[in-house]
Amino acid sequence: MPFYVAPEQQMKDKADYARKGIARGRSAVVLQYEGGILLVADNVSRTLHKISELYDRIAFAAVGRYPEFENLRLMGVRFADVRGYQYDRRDVSGRQLANIYAQTLGTVFSESLKPWEVELVVAEVGDTPDEDEIYRITFDGSIVDEQGFVAVGGSSEHVSGVLKDRFAADAPLSAALNAATHALAHENGEARELEAANLEVAVLERAREHRKFRRVHGRRLARLLEEGKATGSPVSSGGGTGTTDEADE
């Protein structure tokens, strides 16, 4: 004879399961800087990306189980491509994609035995900083419109607290990257040294034509990290410009 489990207990068990799964991985942060939106993830893999382009002005960052958030990424890309083809490329928005992800995760959480162990960020760069949009979507389908910056992952609250002390929306790229890496390096309250090989970095560049997404790696990433370290102070005090285009996609 099957045992009865109260719905409240089922939801609690699912939430605990998802949180534990997400906490096993490293965090990611998304924040504004003077030229657009910066996305940084603690990721040693060169092929399994936590950060990706969804459409012209929209990017995606995720933590948790890779197969699950990769399915969500592909779903978002397909939706954006179809809608942009049927209507107009400007009709594809980050809000639409965030809502679709929230609906999908909410349905899986409520109807499936196992919730998806993922947490997502959808970011869209606008023509001005006031038009930038950053959405955080959690494993249960909750969606939050974030202002300025957001951290996702098992230690997101601690990372956000560290990042808050150094964040400035008008910071140059090297200083914003320094703030992000400093916060990720203090995940779980432990200080680590994050090198370029440990990081996956991308930007949505406001001034770039058409497709705004660009990965930052190689010599440019190493130089930006050095510029950020050279300032040795919070983002609001400034840093390097990071305008060179070497080693970018």
Q: What is the CATH number of the domain that holds 140?
A: 3.60.20.10
In a domain, 2, yes or no: no
Output the pLDDT for position 244: 36
In a domain, 249, yes or no: no
Total domains in the chain come to 1
In a domain, 61, yes or no: yes
> Residue 195: which domain range?
7-237
Q: What is the reported pTM? A: 0.89
In a domain, 59, yes or no: yes
Residue 215 has pLDDT above 90, yes or no: yes
Give residue-wise pLDDT tens across range 5-56.
788 888 999 999 999 999 988 999 999 999 999 999 999 888 899 999 999 9
In a domain, 1, yes or no: no
118-124 β-sheet, strand order: 51-55, 58-64, 118-124, 133-137, 143-146
In a domain, 246, yes or no: no
DSSP 89-140: GGG--HHHHHHHHHHHHHHHHHHSSS---EEEEEEE--SSGGG-EEEEE-TT
In a domain, 247, yes or no: no
> 123 and 39 in contact (C-beta within 8 Å)?
yes
Above pLDDT 70, what percent of the chain? Answer: 92
What's the rounded mean pLDDT across residues 97-109?
97
In a domain, 125, yes or no: yes
What is the rounded average pLDDT for all residues in the chain?
89
